Amino acid sequence: MKIVIFEDEEPASRRLIKLLNEINANVEIVSVIDSVRSGKEFMSQNKNFDLIISDIRLADGLSFEIFKSYPVKLPVIFSTAYDEYAIEAFRNNGIDYLLKPVKREELKSAIQKYENWFSDSTSGVNYDALLQTLLQEKKGFQKRIVIRFADTIKTVEIEDAAYFFTENKINNLCTFGGESFIVDHNLDELELMLDPSVFLESTGSLSLILKQYKK
């Protein structure tokens, strides 16, 4: 099994390699890549591998940028410290989504999932169906959301969000304090991420509004 790793933290990549070798003695690490730029260069020149294990936030951006530039049909196991990218991950051939620090048994389960689904080279995976299944299995709802603020990244607690709206194709979050932030998720994704008992889609407009905010 030939594996490519996208990871910009050396301790994390070393631990991942150690766990992989413990789980499967036949694992071959083709390359460890620490940036979007290097990832794009690698993907443009190499196709001879079976599986990708990818962090989402690399040194110079999100790993999704690599897959948008060089779409792959290979499965991807995502490994990240952030839980808000799950939907986007499964839309980029993700077959599992592991939160850091990666636990040995969770990684073993993800590798087993790959082996079960891809042992027959003629069979494929319905990623749309997989996404829906994983979303249904996902426990709980989003507690906080990562937003871009100036040149930094910060988190906003969902309980502080008054509503979400789309304007000029840009998705925004507005807090009860009147602050507004751009969010990376579209409203369809937010609808899956947020607790439906608290949020609802307002009639006649592209917004998700807190029930108590509408009272």
**Residues 39, 113: one domain?**
yes
**pLDDT (average), residues 16-24:** 94
pLDDT digits (tens, 9 = 90+) for 87-98: 788 778 888 888
**Residues 149, 199: one domain?**
yes
pLDDT over threshold 60, residue 211 = no
Q: Print the domain residue range for 98.
A: 2-137
Amino acid identity for residue 96 in this structure: D
**Cis-peptide, bond into residue 101, ω within 30° of zero:** yes
**Residues 66, 43: one domain?**
yes
pLDDT at 33: 96
Alpha-helical segments (H) within 86-164: 86-90, 104-118, 127-137
pLDDT over threshold 90, residue 30 = yes
- Residue 164's nearest CA partner among 206, 214, 109, 105 is 206
**Residues 113, 169: one domain?**
no
Q: Pick from 91, 122, 137: which residue ends a domain?
A: 137
86 vs 137, higher pLDDT? 86
Q: Pick from 69, 104, 137: which residue ends a domain?
A: 137
Tell me, yes or no, if the pTM score tops 0.85: no
Q: Pick from 96, 120, 137: which residue ends a domain?
A: 137
CA dist 82 and 64 (Å) reads 14
